[in-house]
Structure 1
């Protein structure tokens, strides 16, 4: 059975400052708009995520919440994975490898640079640096989530909020 992993980098957040811990940075108005545009686009494209997994950091979780909302998925159904915030690409791999086999499409929300490294690690593709709010679709053929590792997937689509807006 084919598996699809959608990696979403959190949308644009407020700048870092000494007043706010990095973990607590929220999306700014541009980020809210990017998340909404991507969520609407995913629904229009007929994407059907079986599970939403997110970093617990404010900006990633809010991106997940807005996109999940477009699918009429409750915020309570978004799984928080602590390691995605600062555990490096290995934490992303662990989140994917531990996904239930009943899921065929998993959407995972995280942070750069790790999310870009992870997408490139799984697919062998060169993405450069994932833009804020962008999504990378990686497909795996005849694999279980627990078997996914380096270069086992194909990058089939990479989409940015800017590209989505240009199509409207």
Structure 2
């Protein structure tokens, strides 16, 4: 069976409110424009997820809401462990997923490392190593369940950054 992961770094966030903690930061105007662009791109390409694992930070929650505003409703788990998670924590969370196509939204630097470690071959996109805000990787895995997925087993199907869709 083929499993598909849509791995997204949260959209651009706002640093203007000194009273907010990092966890509370909201999206800025650019982030609020970028997330729906990625959502439409995923729908047009046929990459709609059936389950979502999302960091519980404000900016990841907002990214998720804007991303999937026009999609059919999907189950979502807001995971505190995904807030600034390292690749091993992300992999543990992913291994609990049940759907064939899963969306995960997290933070850098962990998400860039996780993406790179999941793939058999590095993605050729010039922005892949930086994994800028709202960057989106779509990868496939030849595995029966997410519990069977390991590092260096994924194949990149697509990678996009919002600026390419504007």
Q: TM-score, normalised by structure 2?
A: 0.90
Matching residue of 1:83: 81
* Runs of 5+ consecutive residues of structure 2 not aligned to the other structure: none
Give SS of 2:69's match. Answer: helix
* Runs of 5+ consecutive residues of structure 1 not aligned to the other structure: none
1:129-148 aligned at under 5 Å gives the runs: 129-148=130-149
Deviation track 1:82-129 (CA, whole Å, cap 9, x = no partner) reads 1110332122101111111xx110010000110010000110425311
Give SS of 2:46's match. Answer: coil
Deviation track 1:35-86 (CA, whole Å, cap 9, x = no partner) reads 0111111112222211011000000111011112121326xx3211111103
Q: Specify whether residues 89 and 60 from structure 1 end up closer, same or farther in structure 2 by C-alpha distance, changes over 3 A only.
A: same
**Greater helix share, structure number:** 1
- 2:119 paired with 1:123: yes
8 Å CA contact 2:12–2:133 kept in 1: the answer is: yes
Q: Specify whether residues 87 and 9 from structure 1 end up closer, same or farther in structure 2 by C-alpha distance, changes over 3 A only.
A: closer
- 2:100 paired with 1:104: yes
8 Å CA contact 2:84–2:108 kept in 1: the answer is: no
Q: Specify whether residues 32 and 99 from structure 1 end up closer, same or farther in structure 2 by C-alpha distance, changes over 3 A only.
A: same
8 Å CA contact 2:36–2:68 kept in 1: the answer is: no
Q: TM-score, normalised by structure 1?
A: 0.89
Distance in 1 between the 2:144 and 2:107 partners?
Answer: 25
Give SS of 1:121's match. Answer: helix
8 Å CA contact 1:43–1:70 kept in 2: the answer is: no
Q: CA offset at residue 164 of structure 1?
A: 1.7
Matching residue of 1:34: 34
Which runs of structure 1 show a deviation greater than 4 angstroms over 4 or more consecutive aligned residues?
none
Distance in 2 between the 1:60 and 1:67 partners?
Answer: 10
Distance in 2 between the 1:53 and 1:35 partners?
Answer: 16
Q: CA offset at residue 16 of structure 1?
A: 6.4
Distance in 1 between the 2:116 and 2:22 partners?
Answer: 25
